[in-house]
Chain A
Amino acid sequence: MKHPMRNPWIYTLFTVPTLLLYGLFFLWPMLSSAYYAFTDWNGLENYRFVGWSNFSAAFGDPDFRRAIVNNLIFIGFSVFVQIPLIVLFALLIASVRRLRGFYKTTVFVPSIVSTSVIGILWGFIYEPEVGPLNRLLALFGLGPVYWLAEPKWALPAVLIANAWQWMGFYIVLVLAAILAIPKELNEAAVVDGANGWQRALKITVPLIRPLISVVVMLSIAGGMRVVDIVLVMTKGGPVGATEVMASYMVNEAMGVDPNYGFGTAIALVIFAFALLLTSLYQLTFGRRMEGGEF
């Protein structure tokens, strides 16, 4: 009686609100969506249990398969194009003395601007008739390219806009890591006669590897769930050329002929894919890059 805090029931009682909230906002939605993924619920009519048919319908739909490929392209682009550029820019900015703050700020600005603004901004740049990009091309006699209207150009156009938005953020991260490297290492290398490239490749890059590894993982996760820039710029069009899994989900779950059951199934597929890819990365390259300390 004198030590109520030793009574396990009191502890239980105090954890009940948290558990309830956790259950209400995390467990219950997850379980119920897992359930709805196996129904043909459209929000209005009575639904039926349809087994795995939502999943087989998704993988049987060429549009969804293309969305998966597009997601992989997003990941590939960010890992193999963006990240080398990010490291390069970070090295360049780290090696300037003057105006470093200015560069740092300007590259960071796009990542604090809303995606809608960026989508519309790039929409102007890509505008076929008066957009600056086509005007530039016209100077070289190149005909108007319908960037967001032609299936073959739309995806690269969106990839570039997306890269522009996020590179600055990672550049600042990498820059911070570079600046944290003790000066003595570089000075010693200079004494030994190493030139700028050698120092960058043999000293700086290896030392920031753990951070690059994190950036790669964030990029993979980002590439899996990218959707906002696609919805703002193309809504997944033209003819599904820029459709990613999440935009496919939005278009199927809502819009004409909504099917929430199907949409939930897609959400689960995205979740599974993201989990699979990030864990694959962690188990293979990620572990190696971080020296097995993970």
Chain B
Amino acid sequence: MKKRLGVAVLILFVVLSTVLAACGSGKNENATKGSEGSASPSASAPASSGTGGESDGKNAEPFTVSLRHIQIGEAQKFRKAILDDVVKKTEAEVPGLKFELDGVEDQVNRFTKLPAEMAAGNPPKIFDLFGGAGDALKYAKAGRLLDVTPIIQELGISDKFLNLSQFTLDGKVYGLPIGGSTEGFFYSIPLFEKYNIKVPETWEELEAAAETLKQNGITPFAMGSKGAWVPLMIVNTLIGRYAGPEAIDGFPAGTQAWNAPEVTAAFAKYEEWVKKGYFTKGELGLEYADMLNQFVTGKAGMMFDGSWRASVFKDPSQAGELTGKVGFFPMPPVPGGKGDQTYVNGNYSNGYGFSSDLNERELTAVKAFIKNMYNEEMQLRGLLEDGVLPSMKLSGDALGQVEDPLVKQIMETMRKAGGAFSHFDSTVQSEVYKESESQIQKLIAGMATAAEVAEALQKVQQAANAKQ
């Protein structure tokens, strides 16, 4: 009997270990996939500059580091090329290293995939990350992000960044912005010439331009509000104008109410433009990419978008006939607006974050990645090839190399501005931002008035502030 029991226990043991092995297979698969892919580069990797870590011979054991990026699709191809070069260089410097690139669409990564991975505690080792209260700071508080302060100090770049505020928590830096951006109006030069429209410098001129376009059957402002963050770009700058630059930080601090008349005025202006038909018809069914299409195909005369879109307009395969014929201007001062009306929206919020769960070799890889990604050369490449404003200080010489007139215009706008205010998506709590997404769509659909929207947001903001 005892013997049989022993056999049974043995069988049980075998069965269970099979099950456990099956459970763990996900991880094993990754490892094998990575090592297969890295077979050739690891053998031929010459440690080019030497600083990339202690080179323990050419035959170092291969290892992989996962890297999540959002540079997918035609409009991101310049950014992807830069990333690819950084990846190649880093792999060459760190013996045995093979990056496993994982391209995921921006919104899916930011709002679906990364949060789930953060919750499960298994984010990629390097990943695209947004700064601010709803993203980087939240994950930093939960201990999921690597404190990169010592790394950037060691590399001597800690004082090179223009603005790390959206990645900084209690004096520690938890992510590095890849570039800066500002949001403003892109306009079609051919359409403006055709209808004799002057580039708007005042509010009256802007609304007159919109009216002229509308009269001629052209949509004044291209829009795709299926993703609510797209219309919220305009709303954010309208708030910066009507309620002043301080308002954006004032919401979470409790010093600015959403339902104050000056903020409601911003929503009211948006509502007025919706009612006047200044935005694309059927915008609630259109994606962000559709907005660009309407603008490029000449169906719309203006488009409020981020400066990151600039590179599209020098690429004939994307901009078509509009290549090189696009201008940029900031939102003009609004009559009766509070605060400095020359401020522009300025963000240093999109960049890379790193998992806090790294072994020694992975840490070496991350260090080398930071060294190769965040330097004057790559920042300049981003600016010249991709039109992305640098997130690090560049010399006057370097900046002088910019030839793209559109990028020059954007940089000039930034230079002339009295200062910059953030986007509220990086300052307010996630639940407030979420509410703003649903409220703006209600406003667009005509299911809520500006006052109702402001009221609803204030309610959520108060609840969120009370929780802190």
Contact = CB atoms under 8 A, between A and B. Distances in A.
A223 interface: no
B141 A43 contact: no
A257 B434 contact: yes
Contacts of A63: 438
A149 B8 contact: no
A239 B119 CA distance: 28
A235 to B, nearest CB: 7
Contacts of A85: none
A289 to B, nearest CB: 41
B441 A43 contact: no
Interface in A127-170: 128, 144, 146-151, 154
Given A44-B138, A146-B282, A256-B433, A238 B115 contact: no
Contacts of A16: 12
Contacts of B438: 63, 239-240
Contact of A45 (B4, B116, B142): B142
Interface in A230-271: 234-235, 237-240, 254-258, 260
B282 A254 contact: no
B21 interface: no
B447 interface: yes
Contact of B282 (A13, A128, A256): A128
A44 B285 contact: no
A44 B447 contact: no
Given A44-B144, A149-B226, A254-B112, 12 more contacts: A1-B1, A14-B8, A44-B139, A44-B142, A144-B282, A150-B282, A151-B445, A235-B226, A237-B226, A255-B434, A257-B134, A260-B119
Contact of A43 (B116, B134, B286, B447): B116
A256 B111 CA distance: 5
A255 B111 contact: yes
A101 interface: no
Interface string A211-223: 0000000000000
B19 A17 contact: yes
A21 B15 CA distance: 11
Interface of A: 1, 4, 7, 9-10, 13-14, 16-17, 20-21, 42-45, 63, 128, 144, 146-151, 154, 234-235, 237-240, 254-258, 260
14 contacts: A1-B1, A10-B5, A13-B5, A16-B12, A17-B15, A21-B19, A43-B118, A44-B139, A146-B284, A149-B282, A149-B285, A150-B282, A254-B115, A256-B430
B8 A10 contact: yes
B12 A13 contact: yes
B442 interface: yes
B313 to A, nearest CB: 23
Interface string B401-441: 00000000000000000000000000001110110011001
A258 B119 contact: yes
A257 B431 contact: yes
A44 B138 CA distance: 8
Contacts of A237: 226, 284, 441
A11 to B, nearest CB: 10
Interface in B86-125: 111-112, 115-116, 118-120
Contact of A255 (B112, B282, B442): B112
Contact of B4 (A4, A146, A254, A255): A4
Interface residues of B, number: 41
B430 A44 contact: no
Contact of A149 (B9, B283, B442): B283
Interface in B261-301: 281-286
Contacts of B12: 13, 16-17
Given A146-B282, A239-B445, A10 B4 contact: yes
Interface in B38-94: none
Contacts of A44: 118-119, 138-139, 141-142, 144
B16 interface: yes
Contact of A256 (B15, B281, B434, B447): B434
Interface string B233-270: 00000000000000000000000000000000000000
Contacts of A128: 281-282, 285
A146 B142 contact: no
A13 B9 contact: yes
A262 to B, nearest CB: 11
Contacts of B9: 13
Nearest to A148: B285
A257 B445 contact: no
Contacts of B1: 1, 4, 7
10 tightest A-B contacts by CB?
A: A43-B119, A149-B285, A146-B282, A257-B430, A238-B284, A149-B282, A44-B142, A148-B285, A256-B434, A149-B284
